[in-house]
Amino acid sequence: MRAAGLTVLFAVLLFLLGPFVVIVAAGLSAGDTLAFPPQGLSLRWVEAVFGMENFRASFLLSLELGVGSTLLALLLGVPAAYGLARYRVPGREALRTVVLTPLIVPGIIVGLALLRHAVVPLDMPVTLALVLAHTVLVVPYAVRVVTASLENLRTDVEEAAVMLGASRLETFFKIVLPNIRNAILAAFILGFVTSFNQVPVSLFLTGPGITTLPIDMLASMEFVYDPSIAALSALMALMSMAIVLVAERLLGLSRYV
Amino acid sequence: MFDNRRIGMALAAPAVLFVALAFLLPVAVLLSGSFTLEAGGWGLGRFTDFFAEPLYREVMWRTLRLGAVVTLASAAIGYAVALAIVQAGPSWKGRFVGLFVLPLMISPVARTYAWIVILGRTGILNQAIVGLGLSPEPLRLLFTETAVFIGLVQLFLPLMVLSLVSALENLPADVVPAARVLGAGWLTVFWRVLLPLTREGLVIGGTLVFTGAITAYITPAVLGGSKVLMLETLLYQRVSVANDFVSASVIAVILIVMSVVAHAVLKRASAARGR
């Protein structure tokens, strides 16, 4: 039974992770067309990808968007999580539900709604709409991860600090913040990865000139048959893996997923 | 717990207002558009028009079907895998769980693109099929429902596995040996002991997989193309090709209703589990 179980487990892992091996190998191909097994190994297409102007621009936008919207989401989400976890706010559950609803609504609808009812009527720049959309998407992660961490933190230390004369602000920065630091870092990583990999939310808010890396890749797939997209996919996969492995070591990220 | 309500509200207000203005309001306006009538006033006319179109009915049906099949397949594979992980012993368990978390953090675009290399006309699978003499010429594997199915299972299976692992972990260690000692076969153990005791985990995993599958965009877009449309790819196509915002908002309502219903189920299941 155990041997059978392990066989199934390895077969499934092959199914889940095998495609990465394929994409990395295909990206390292020395040939001119996308193929597996690759026609000889080289870094030719990896180098080529770094030289492609469009991918560089969309990578930078994705990076800025990921960092910017995640920071904004934390700025909004951390106080909200703290306020709703520690103060007797009327309608607490309802307010928390409001902040978490973006998780339920498919991203493509958020993008379409912002395009139709913010970008067009208000003449809003698309980049601002992208920031709004990505921030909306990340806020629930920030609130959820920080709330979970606050619930595990005993409140009597804070109450003691307040009773001993610390101001509310001092209590938060000196007592609470050091204790939830790891959760905030985990929320940042989770938020950044979510934003960076996001496609549906940005579909209607990008176009030629202003586009994110995953959408640029999707669009290029239709006419690019050389291994460059495979090389790019491999780079993205390796980047995510590196982030996740480091985060797992430092923070135990899988607790928060 | 502090009593000062005003501080609490002031802390929560920016996030709540932001989500309300940048998200709830525009989405509500978008959705309300689908309940207006061309002649003015309110009604469900746009929905009946939508469902009168055979192509749209087919897409809706395919989306639900793929969602169901992907969920069932993930559940079946998920149980086998989760049992093996739980039995592997504590030091291995953490590593295996990590291997299932890892793919979740990798770009779905990169994950899906790999299947083009595998399933394409000159892909590795077709090379094997032709090489083994199973077919004289390469089969059309891409842009089929099967390709979308494979891509979706690969994308969402980890969610099922992780839910089932945590459900199985909470199981008392001796229920399975006890049932075995009392003479139950493995199938009986599964149906009569494991399945009822891990039902909430199954519901949680199932809801995550189902909502993920029916609202997927990248997989049907890349592996299905315009031949195998699902609701999200249809929505995108209606807007980008035909500027048809009416059908788009109807599809948006359908997607949100399905998603909200699934999450209500999820919430009840996780409340039952006391999380």
The residues with which B36 forms a beta bridge, in sequence order, are B42
DSSP string, B19-66: HIIIIIHHHHHHHHGGGB-TTSSB-SHHHHHHHHSHHHHHHHHHHHHH
Please count the other Cβ atoms lying within 10 Å of the Cβ belonging to residue B68: 14
What six digits make up the tokens of A36?
A: 């597996």
Domains and CATH numbers, chain A: 53-219+238-255 (1.10.3720.10)
Kindly give, in sequence order, each residue whose CB lies less than 8 Å from that of residue B66, ignoring residues fewer than 6 positions away.
B145, B148, B149, B152, B213, B214, B230
The shortest C-alpha distance from B121 to chain A (Å) reads: 11
CA separation for the pair B83, A3 (Å, rounded): 12
Please count the other Cβ atoms lying within 10 Å of the Cβ belonging to residue A257: 16
Domains and CATH numbers, chain B: 53-273 (1.10.3720.10)
Report the predicted TM-score, pTM, of the whole model to 2 decimal places: 0.91
DSSP state of B72: H
Query: Which chain A residues are within 8 Å of B118, Cβ to Cβ?
Result: 19, 22, 36
The shortest C-alpha distance from A54 to chain B (Å) reads: 17
Residue ranges of chain B whose pLDDT lies below 70:
1, 273-275
Query: Which chain A residues are within 8 Å of B83, Cβ to Cβ?
Result: 5
Kindly identify which residue of chain A lies nearest to residue B249, measuring between CA atoms.
Answer: A109
Is B260's CB within 8 Å of A104's CB? yes
pLDDT tens-digit series, residues A97-151:
999 999 999 999 999 999 999 999 999 999 999 999 999 999 999 999 999 999 9
CA separation for the pair A2, A7 (Å, rounded): 9
Kindly give, in sequence order, each residue whose CB lies less than 8 Å from that of residue A222, ignoring residues fewer than 6 positions away.
none
Is B4's CB within 8 Å of A87's CB? yes
Query: Which residues 190-249 on chain A approach chain B with CB closer than 8 angstroms?
Result: 193, 196-197, 199-200, 203-204, 214, 217-218, 221, 229-230, 232-234, 236-237, 240-241, 243-244, 248
The residues with which A29 forms a beta bridge, in sequence order, are A41
pLDDT in 10s for each residue of chain A, 257 residues? 678 888 999 999 999 999 988 898 988 888 888 878 888 888 888 888 888 888 999 999 999 999 999 999 999 999 999 999 998 888 899 999 999 999 999 999 999 999 999 999 999 999 999 999 999 999 999 999 999 999 988 888 888 988 898 888 898 999 999 999 999 999 999 999 999 999 999 999 998 789 999 999 999 988 888 889 999 999 988 888 888 888 877 777 666 66
A118 touches chain B (CB under 8 A): yes
Are B240 and B264 in contact by the 8 Å Cβ rule? The answer is no
Three-state secondary structure of B174-226: CHHHHHHHCCCCHHHHHHHHHHHHCHHHHHHHHHHHHHHHHCCCHHHHHHHCC
Are A111 and B239 in contact by the 8 Å Cβ rule? The answer is no
Residue showing tokens 């969920």: B71
Question: B139-168 burial string, b = 16+ CB within 10 Å, else e?
Answer: eebbbbbebbbbbbbbbbbbbbbbbbbbbb
Is A88's CB within 8 Å of B15's CB? no
